[in-house]
């Protein structure tokens, strides 16, 4: 039987990402709620996708903490496991947050950040380019150059500035590497000097709340970053969604013999 390698019963762990990610909290909730005899293995987004690629090469069973938007759905044949208990929530939106006072201190940047909004296909182009080996800043610059109409919507009515600095915090998740670099490129095109800083999830939220960083485009709501949002919502400014239709969950290769988180029991 050559399908035995895809047998979920031989799984001992969920291949996770960084411990501060909301999808990790949800995955632990799934283990508890469904009574799964699986360990949640923390690593990083890059290590998770590497493990996924290796498993797929061998048609081995694997279950990962996944999310959309992500290039892995374009590269591999994957499926989300059904979540009848709703542990991973419903559809999510990715929100842009700034520190308090940015609208007064840097109104042009604030307008660009407020206008920034894109689709799964658009983000997907940048993500795939990076995945195929292009440097993130270069992939963002290429995308901006070939999507000038879209970028014009975000910079409409924005005056050029004279090199003022804007800092953007992000976490090195593939989706956020793409969005943060695109926003950086667009802010540079209106004259800002943009510094990006990659950090853990919790630090990203505190850096905005404490005004150490100006903005981030990586706030997943309502569920994924709920705990961070509850802690900091009075100290940050929510500019609303920059992406709608995001999702998190447990993801497996399509060749696996299961369809629901319940089948992991």
Residues that bind ligand PBE (CB under 6 A): 17, 21-23, 67, 173, 175-176, 201, 220, 224-225, 248
Q: Quick check: 264 and 82 in contact, CB under 8 A?
A: no
Q: Which two tokens stand for residue 113?
A: 């950040």
Q: Quick check: 254 and 77 in contact, CB under 8 A?
A: yes
Q: How far is the CB of 245 from ligand PBE (least distance, A)?
A: 13
Cβ distance to ligand PBE smaller for residue 21 or 194: 21
Give 8: exposed, middle or buried? Use CB within 10 Å, 0-12, 13-18, 19+. Answer: middle
DSSP H or E run through 259 = none
Cβ distance to ligand PBE smaller for residue 131 or 175: 175
Q: How far is the CB of 224 from ligand PBE (least distance, A)?
A: 5
Cβ distance to ligand PBE smaller for residue 42 or 141: 42
Cβ distance to ligand PBE smaller for residue 99 or 225: 225
Q: How far is the CB of 115 from ligand PBE (least distance, A)?
A: 21
- Give the residue from 128, 125, 120, 131 showing the smallest Cα distance to 143: 125
- Total residues found in the chain within this entry: 265
Cβ distance to ligand PBE smaller for residue 223 or 237: 223
Cβ distance to ligand PBE smaller for residue 51 or 158: 51
Q: How far is the CB of 110 from ligand PBE (least distance, A)?
A: 23
Q: How far is the CB of 207 from ligand PBE (least distance, A)?
A: 15
- Give the residue from 110, 35, 30, 20 showing the smallest Cα distance to 63: 30
User: How many Å apart are CA 11 and CA 55, to the nearest integer?
Assistant: 12
Q: How far is the CB of 135 from ligand PBE (least distance, A)?
A: 21
Helix 148-155 vs helix 136-146: angle between axes, to the nearest 10 degrees?
Answer: 90
DSSP H or E run through 248 = strand 236-253
Tokens 């909301």 belong to which residue? 22
């Amino acid at each position: 039987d050559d399908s035995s390698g895809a047998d979920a019963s031989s799984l001992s762990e969920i291949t996770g990402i960084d411990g501060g990610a909301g999808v990790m909290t949800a995955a632990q909730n799934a283990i508890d709620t469904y009574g799964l005899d699986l360990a949640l293995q923390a690593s990083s987004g890059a290590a998770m996708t590497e493990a996924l690629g290796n498993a797929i090469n061998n048609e081995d069973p694997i279950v990962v903490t996944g999310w959309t938007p992500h290039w892995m759905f374009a590269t591999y044949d994957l499926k989300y496991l059904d979540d009848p208990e709703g542990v991973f929530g419903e559809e999510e939106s990715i929100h842009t947050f700034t520190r308090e006072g940015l609208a007064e201190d840097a109104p042009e940047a604030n307008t660009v950040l407020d206008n920034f909004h894109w689709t799964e296909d658009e983000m997907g182009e940048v993500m795939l380019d990076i995945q195929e080996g292009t440097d993130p800043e270069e992939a963002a610059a290429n995308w901006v150059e070939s999507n000038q109409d879209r970028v014009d919507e975000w910079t409409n009515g924005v005056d050029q500035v004279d090199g003022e600095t804007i800092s953007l915090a992000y976490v090195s998740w593939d989706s956020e590497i793409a969005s943060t670099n695109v926003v950086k490129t667009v802010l540079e095109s209106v004259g800002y000097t943009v510094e990006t800083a990659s950090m853990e999830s919790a630090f990203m939220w505190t850096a905005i709340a404490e005004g150490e960083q100006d903005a981030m485009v990586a706030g997943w709501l309502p569920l994924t970053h709920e705990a961070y949002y509850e802690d900091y919502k009075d100290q940050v400014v929510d500019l609303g969604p920059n992406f709608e239709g995001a999702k998190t969950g447990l993801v497996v290769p399509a060749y696996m013999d299961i369809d629901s988180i319940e089948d992991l029991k």
